[in-house]
């Protein structure tokens, strides 16, 4: 149990998977009472004595009782009691709230560790013999062994776990899209100032109008363009706005705004005409009013990319990330109006 407590603080990593898997879930066939008390009245059972993890539903019941206890405490004393001062008795064991949190994390981590192992197994059999890009494309790229070593150190409950969805066979996760965009912003920050919004914001056809409008990026974008029109180092950098669009909750599309010519390039990896028309109408109504106003008589125009077509049903996210990167490199067709 010490390994689980430590992992809850420092991260569940694959290198310690055997220690996590040595714990089993308590086979609870009867429901014992749950009692919540002050820690000073009922001290927790020592870590070394706890040999099993509570079932997830039991943990949820304990957490509910803790919340009820805290509400009653505040009602009686008009002051909050912190988690550190509370213990929960379930069966013959007494748990601190931190222990309950660690057990909940364990339940989430175990299947993710298995997913990480499958990713590494896939990478071990990956054939990169046909990948022979120019040397400039290989700059700072890790080889397979280095990637695997890095994956073994990833906290499976952390943000970077979602990079595993780049493997394919299913759509890239929302968090993975955000990480990829953030990485592009850092890599190309010398020549470009890239602005973006989280990948969950622009959805089609169902979206939250208020969430889109409340993002602070619009004010930052206007300020950046004002600075660029002045003097100084920022004037030399190209200002870009990238947006990923979750189409019909199953397909990634993209939009890129070029402020040099005030154009919006729409990219659908599968390049279906109906999607382009629908997204053009959607972006004209929802995105354009939030962008900096072009100097008269200019206005934003829309373009469609004629590029490599996605033939499968799951690699749309990879196509979108590659589209953004090639735009920054200046090697992607801008598209036709």
pLDDT tens across 168-211, in order?
Answer: 677 889 899 999 999 999 988 888 888 888 888 888 877 776 77
Q: Is pLDDT at 12 greater than 60 in this prediction?
A: yes
DSSP state of 47: G
Nearest CA to 39 among 101, 98, 95, 87? 87
In which element (H, E) is residue 265 found?
strand 263-267
What pLDDT, in 10s, does the model give residues 43-60?
999 999 999 999 999 999
Q: What is the predicted pLDDT for the residue at 109?
A: 97
Give me the sheet containing 34-38, strands edge to edge. Answer: 34-38, 86-90, 93-96
Q: Using one digit for the tens of pLDDT, what is the confidence trace for 278-315?
A: 999 999 988 899 898 888 888 999 998 878 888 888 88
Rounded CA gap, 261 and 54, in Å? 60
In percent, the amount of the chain with pLDDT more than 70 equals 92
Phi, psi of 294 (to 5 degrees): -65, 150
* Contact in structure between 325 and 249 (CB atoms under 8 Å): no
- When pLDDT is averaged across residues 139-152 and rounded to a whole number, the result is 86
Dihedral in degrees, nearest 10, Cα atoms 58, 1, 101, 99: 90
Class of residue 287 by CB neighbours under 10 A (exposed 0-12, middle 13-18, buried 19+): buried
Determine the 3-state secondary structure of 248 from DSSP.
coil
Is 161's pLDDT higher than 60? yes
**Structural contact between residues 58 and 13, judged by C-beta atoms closer than 8 angstroms:** no
Sorting pLDDT into bands at 50, 70 and 90, what band is 229?
A: low
**pLDDT attached to residue 23:** 92
Angstrom distances, CA of residue 275 to CA of 2, 207, 246: 53, 16, 12
pLDDT at 129 over 60: yes
For residue 128, the model assigns a pLDDT of 78
Q: Residue 319: which H helix or E strand, with range? A: helix 316-329
pLDDT at res. 236 = 67
Residue 230 binned pLDDT confidence (cut-offs 50, 70, 90) = low
Question: Does residue 336 have a pLDDT over 70?
Answer: no
Q: What is the pLDDT of residue 319?
A: 92
Mean pLDDT, residues 87-101 taken together: 95
Least confident among 17-31, 38-52, 113-127:
17-31
Predicted pLDDT at 297? 86
Question: Which is more confidently placed, 100 or 330?
Answer: 100
With a cut of 80, say whether residue 122 has pLDDT above it: yes
Q: Identify the pLDDT of residue 335.
A: 56
């Amino acid at each position: 149990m010490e390994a689980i407590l430590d992992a809850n603080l420092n991260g569940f990593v694959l290198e310690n998977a055997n220690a996590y898997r040595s714990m089993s879930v308590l086979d609870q066939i009867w429901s014992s009472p749950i009692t919540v008390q002050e820690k000073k009245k009922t001290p927790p059972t020592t870590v070394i004595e706890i040999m099993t993890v509570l079932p997830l539903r039991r943990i949820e019941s304990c957490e509910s009782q803790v919340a009820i206890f805290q509400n009653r405490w505040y009602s009686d004393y008009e002051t909050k009691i912190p988690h550190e001062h509370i213990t929960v008795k379930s069966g013959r064991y007494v748990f601190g709230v931190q222990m309950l949190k660690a057990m909940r994390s364990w339940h989430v981590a175990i299947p993710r560790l298995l997913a990480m192992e499958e990713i590494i197994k896939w990478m071990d059999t990956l054939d990169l013999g046909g990948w022979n890009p120019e040397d400039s494309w290989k700059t700072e790229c890790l080889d397979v062994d280095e990637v695997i070593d890095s994956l073994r150190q990833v906290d499976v409950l952390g943000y970077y776990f979602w990079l595993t969805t780049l493997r394919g066979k299913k759509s890239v996760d929302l968090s993975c899209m955000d990480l990829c965009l953030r990485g592009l912003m850092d890599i190309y920050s010398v020549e470009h100032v890239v602005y973006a919004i989280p990948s969950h914001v622009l959805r089609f056809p169902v979206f939250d109008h208020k969430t889109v409008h409340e993002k602070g990026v619009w004010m930052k974008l206007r300020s950046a363009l004002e600075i660029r029109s002045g003097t100084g180092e920022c004037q030399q950098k190209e200002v870009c706005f990238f947006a990923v669009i979750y189409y019909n909750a199953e397909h990634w599309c993209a939009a890129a705004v070029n402020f040099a010519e005030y154009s919006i390039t729409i990219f659908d990896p599968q390049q279906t005409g109906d999607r382009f028309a629908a997204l053009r109408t959607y972006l004209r109504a929802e995105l354009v009013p939030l962008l900096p106003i072009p100097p008269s008589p200019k206005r934003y125009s829309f373009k469609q990319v004629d590029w490599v077509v996605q033939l499968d049903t799951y690699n749309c996210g990879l196509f979108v990330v590659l589209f953004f990167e090639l735009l920054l490199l200046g090697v992607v067709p801008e598209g036709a109006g």
